[in-house]
Structure 1
Amino acid sequence: MAQGYSIGKLSAVSGVNLETVRYYERIGLLPAPQRAANGYRCYTDAAARRLRFIRRGRELGFGIEAIRTLLQLADHPELPCGEADQLTLVHLRDVEARIADLEAMRQELIRLSGCDSDRAEHCRLIEALDRDGG
C-alpha cells in the first residue's frame, strides 16, 4: 500500500468506529500515524491489523489493559505466552460468573413473569421491586 489509509478508510477496513480509532491513539493502543502533506493522518496496513486485533479482543470482552498486554505480547512473539494464558483463564472465570448471575436473573424473571392480575397493585414484578430488601 503506497499511500496509506485515511482515518475513515481505516475505520471501514478494521471495523472500528472512527471516534474509537482516535481514542485508541490517545491512550496509546494505536501508534500515532504519519501525516500526509495536507496534515491528514495516513495509516498503514499494520495499523489496520492492529485495530482488528484490538476489536477482536474487545469482542471477547477483554478490557483495555488486558489488550495492552496482549498487544505487547503480539509485538514480541519471542516472549512466552503464559501471561496471555493467565489473562484468558482469569477472563474465563469472570465470564462464567457473569453467566451464572445472568442465569439467576433469568430464573427470577421467569418466576415473576406471567402475572395474571389486571392491576399494578397485584403485579408480581411491582411487588418484588417494592419489597424491602432487609
Structure 2
Amino acid sequence: MNIGDAASRSGVSAKMIRYYEQIGVIPNASRTASGYREYEPCDVHMLRFIARARDLGFSIAEITELLDLWRDKDRRSADVKSLAQARVRDLRHKIAHLQDMADTLEDLANACAGNERPNCPILQRLETSETGEGTAFRRPPEKGFKERIG
C-alpha cells in the first residue's frame, strides 16, 4: 500500500510517517520500481502503536525505546513498566503545574473588579515578579505620548 493508504489506516499523517522514517523511529519503507514508498500491514500496525504512545504523551525518544522493547521478545516487563511510571510522574507534575497556573489566574480574575476603572490586579501581577520587584520590561507609553514629544 502507498503512504496515503498507510496514513489513513494508521491515523498517522503521511508527513509524520516521512518524519518518523527520517529520524529513524521506523525503518525506511521499501520502494516500488517507480520510487514510491510501499507499506505492509505490519508497518500500519507499528504506526498505530506509535500513535497510541503519542496519545499517551510519550516522547519520540521514549517511543523509540518502547518500539525496541516491543520488538524484543526477551524484554523485561519491568523495563516497560518503568517507562510508563516515569511518564505518569511527568504527567502528574505537569498537571500540578497547570493547576497552580489556573488557581493563580482564577485568583487574579476574582480580584479584578472588571469595571471602567484602570486598576487591574492582573496587569499589576504581570508587571511585577513574585517578590514584587519590577521586571525588565517597561510600561508602555501613555496615550498621546508621541504627540507630546514631537
- TM-score scaled to structure 1, two decimals? 0.89
Relative contact order, CA 8 A, sep 6+: which one is greater? 1
Could you tell me how far 1:86 is from its partner in structure 2? 0.8
Per-residue CA distance 1:65-109 (angstroms, 9 max, x = gap):
111111011111232111111111111111111111111111111
Which stretches in structure 1 are left out of the alignment for 5+ residues?
none
Per-residue CA distance 1:44-66 (angstroms, 9 max, x = gap):
01110111111111111111111
Distance 2:102 2:31 in 1: 51
Establish whether residue 33 from structure 1 lines up as the match of residue 57 from structure 2. Answer: no
Match of 1:123 in 2: 120
Establish whether residue 23 from structure 1 lines up as the match of residue 51 from structure 2. Answer: no
Answer with 1 or 2: which has the greater Rg: 2
Matches within 5 A, 1:1-134: 5-114=1-110, 115-119=112-116, 121-134=118-131
Per-residue CA distance 1:20-56 (angstroms, 9 max, x = gap):
1101001111111111122111100111011111111
In percent, how many aligned pairs have the same letter? 34
Aligned positions, number? 130
Runs of 4+ in 1 over 6 A off after TM superposition: none
Which stretches in structure 2 are left out of the alignment for 5+ residues?
132-150
RMSD: 1.5
Could you tell me how far 1:119 is from its partner in structure 2? 4.8
- Mean CA deviation greater in 48-57 or 73-82: 73-82
